[in-house]
Chains A and B, each alone.
Chain A
Amino acid sequence: MTAVVTAASARQEPRGPRGARLRAALRADPAGAVGGALVVVLVLAGVGAPLLAPYPPTQVHFALPFQVPLTIGFPLGTDDLGRDLASRTLYGLRSSLQVAAIGVAVSVVLGTLLGLAAGWWRRLDPVIARITDVMLAFPFLVLAIGFAAVQGPSLGGAAISLGLAYVPHVALTVRAETLRVRATDFVLAARAMDARAPGMLLGHVLPNAASTIVVQATVILPQVVLGEAVLSFLGLGIQPPGSSLGIMLSDAQQYLYRTAWPAVLPGVVLALLCLAFNLVGDALRDRLDPATGARR
């Protein structure tokens, strides 16, 4: 008991100016820090694409196809239609991030609502469990094809179908957290003061489940980014001439024997994006999730 208390106090965040705390966090988890820096750079690049890109993403230069990187005027070269690869990659990154944001928002919001309901009201639990089972049984591609058939392929459709595909994952974790928090003494105390269910769910359950939900979101995010690339590659997501990392890969594939650059660039950005969010997710899990080790 004593050891636990002292160990916990020894583990407390180092106090002091922000700089010192940041340095301490960097020392404690350099991989997470690198991931965090990458996320910031990539998000800024995506958001700032219209300012950073030298050309509009769809502007063609038929006279200059297949330029290699470091060509004057086209820092990263051009594709088969002479479109600037740097500009297309930036805009591709932008749409990937848009899909990721919408997809994660859909899965987290719906999943959290379902999970809270399933964990709190025993009667709803089996009903919601069956719904999530059905959703888990549906490959997201099938869902996306269905969406595309009804709505026509689009960025929004791809994002929503990807988001729906990850609803069960969030719902299951949130349900488990809800069951845990529901059994705590502070919820018992809240019941004893006649608190209403919505108040307890918002006041007690959600804040205590928040760290788990955040970690879950960082796990889902790179999967949604990859999913968008897959859907766009198959023509179910963003439509050409619009740019997305998946479309760039799909376009480059036809000319792969001639030049690899149009495929390498979006591939590298995609890999970096997923790596960055995975690193941040791992770091957050280590810091926030009591299940995978002590809070540091």
Chain B
Amino acid sequence: MPSDGEPVLEVRGLRVAFGDDEVVHGVDLTIGAGERVALVGGSGSGKSTTALAVLGLLPAGGRVTAGSVRFRGEDITTAGPRRLRELRGAGIGLVPQDPLSGLDPVRRVGTQVATALRAHGLAESRRDARGRAVDLLAAAGIPEPARRAVQYPHELSGGMRQRVLVTIALACRPALLLADEPTSALDVTVARRILDLVGELTASSGTSLLLVTHDLGLAAERADRVVVLRDGRVAEAGGAARVLRSPTDDYTRALIDASPGLSPGAPRAVAGALPDTAPVLELDGVSHRFRLRGGHTVHALDDVSFAVAPGTTTAVVGESGSGKTTAARIALGLLAPSSGTVRLDGRETGVRSGLDRAERRTVAAAVQPVLQDPFGSLDPTWTVASLIAEPLRVHGHDGRGARVAELLDAVALPATTGRRVPRELSGGQRQRVAIARALALEPQLVVCDEAVSALDVLVQDQVLRLLEDLQERLGLAYLFISHDLGVVRRIADRVVVMRSGRVEEQGPAARVLEAPEAEYTRELLAAVPGRAA
């Protein structure tokens, strides 16, 4: 154990380079015993690279070129692989980002916890290790730990898997726990519980915490001190409350302003005239059932009704499994509802395959999607110009070149972007291309399925601004599917809260977000990080 006053981790002037490109330019970071420090920054800020360098786990091609990383006074940048292996796990525990790939899919979770214990000689026998593993799983709040311990990762939910990963990271009572975006793949309410768990366990064992996150709200809520990184340099460091209240750096200020959780603002005021206008899209008593093998049916949607008025945004909020993506597919006409009706502009459409070609074209032109993954939604083998022209080509429009230039301009991308391929663009630029493609057919309604949730806050802010601007200029209606209430508060006129395929609550954004009626909505609202700070 470190003596009083000696920091657990001390990083001095750390520089990391990949090949000839330096990506971390002299980062200083100190973590005292039992202290919780958050490392915050957008993508490309060097936060993950710094964290990996601390563990000696830089990906191939990366190396520490200068500076030192001292763990309890020992310089680990010069330590050999054997010493590093001893330190990892026993000295420094890691909670990785993705609970899906963080666990070995072919081994029982109890065995995986036991392996960590045995690797560091903390259990005498296999049986002993297995018993201890069950105790640890119980301490991590896993119900029926003995039964869960003999299950495989795919049998556990995302939150449960992350609990197992936390258990493994803390199994050998490390002096430092390194959590790299531990909750970004989880639903908000689950994320909150995981962070509570990490907080409790580290506090009770006196473990220091290094939390790597892009979410300043979450950082401020969960850490004593915040270190803001920008382009591989420390932009600002200080007490969490101080940094939030009076940031000295412009970048920090921009992060705070862009974070929907930290600077909520008022929900959009709804024009009283809304109900009078005929909706663009109307789902009326729509249900969708999947039949599973063995005759079970799953209600992905159960008697769901909502509408989107022209020129407004209706947000559908819910956690994974709530049926919000199914609702989006039905709105796009790609999935047939099992019962109920879908009306577009007052006309009943149902599923597209039931329509003749001309009608299908009309529906396709009227409703277009912007999807979540800015990497997966653009064909990597196409240029930006051909991607944006794709809907025009499919619909046989002429003058595509001019229209593409117009669309690039509308989403504030330079005309030269047209010749590039998606790989050369940033996440935000890609999402702009996806928006341009969705706008090509001049739709009335754009279905945004988690369209900004893969972007970091600053980029998210820009894309949201673009969406707002386009709505105003083109009179677009949005069906905005999201799990992030902070974002929804900013963009939505109406909010539909969904859970397990049912509508829990719906109404004007101001009413639902300020005075929620359903218990579930209140729970969701409470889980938004940064509200407490």
Contacts and interface: CB of A to CB of B under 8 A. Distances in A.
A1 B43 CA distance: 7
B126 interface: no
A185 B43 CA distance: 22
B221 interface: no
**Interface majority SS on B: helix, strand, loop or mixed?**
loop
A193 B441 contact: yes
Interface string B360-403: 11011001110111001111111000000011001100000000
Contacts of A207: 379, 381-382
A194 B366 CA distance: 11
A3 B21 contact: no
A71 interface: no
Contacts of A4: 48, 59
B381 A185 contact: no
Interface string B195-215: 000000000000000000000
- Among B59, B181, B438, max chain A CB count under 10 A is at B59
B2 interface: no
Interface in A1-27: 1-7, 9-11
Contact of B373 (A11, A185, A203): A185
Interface string A94-131: 00000000000000000000000000000000000000
A70 B380 CA distance: 55
Contact of A11 (B41, B52, B61): B61
Interface residues of A, number: 28
A241 interface: no
B394 A194 contact: yes
A194 B361 contact: yes
Interface residues of B, number: 49
A203 B58 CA distance: 38
Contact of A193 (B21, B48, B368, B377): B368
B152 interface: no
A33 B62 CA distance: 26
Nearest to B20: A10
A191 interface: yes
Given A1-B181, A194-B395, A185 B377 contact: yes
A3 B52 contact: yes
Contact of B334 (A2, A11, A184, A192): A192
A7 B61 contact: yes
A185 B390 contact: no
Nearest to B332: A192
Contacts of B382: 203, 207
B62 to A, nearest CB: 7
B394 A199 contact: yes
B47 interface: yes
A199 B391 CA distance: 12
Contacts of A196: 394
Nearest to B47: A2
Contacts of B380: 208
- Among B97, B367, B394, B438, max chain A CB count under 10 A is at B394
Interface in B1-54: 18-19, 21, 23, 41, 43-49, 52
A195 interface: yes
Contact of B48 (A3, A11, A190): A3
A186 B46 contact: no
21 contacts: A1-B97, A2-B43, A2-B47, A5-B43, A5-B44, A6-B18, A6-B21, A7-B61, A10-B18, A10-B19, A10-B61, A189-B377, A189-B437, A192-B367, A192-B368, A193-B391, A194-B363, A196-B394, A199-B394, A208-B379, A210-B381
Interface of B: 18-19, 21, 23, 41, 43-49, 52, 58-62, 97, 181, 332-334, 352, 360-361, 363-364, 367-369, 371-373, 376-382, 390-391, 394-395, 434, 437-438, 441
Q: Which 5 A-B pairs have the closest CB atoms?
A: A10-B18, A194-B364, A185-B377, A2-B48, A207-B381
Given A188-B334, A193-B364, 9 more contacts: A1-B97, A2-B45, A3-B48, A3-B59, A10-B61, A11-B61, A194-B394, A195-B394, A196-B394
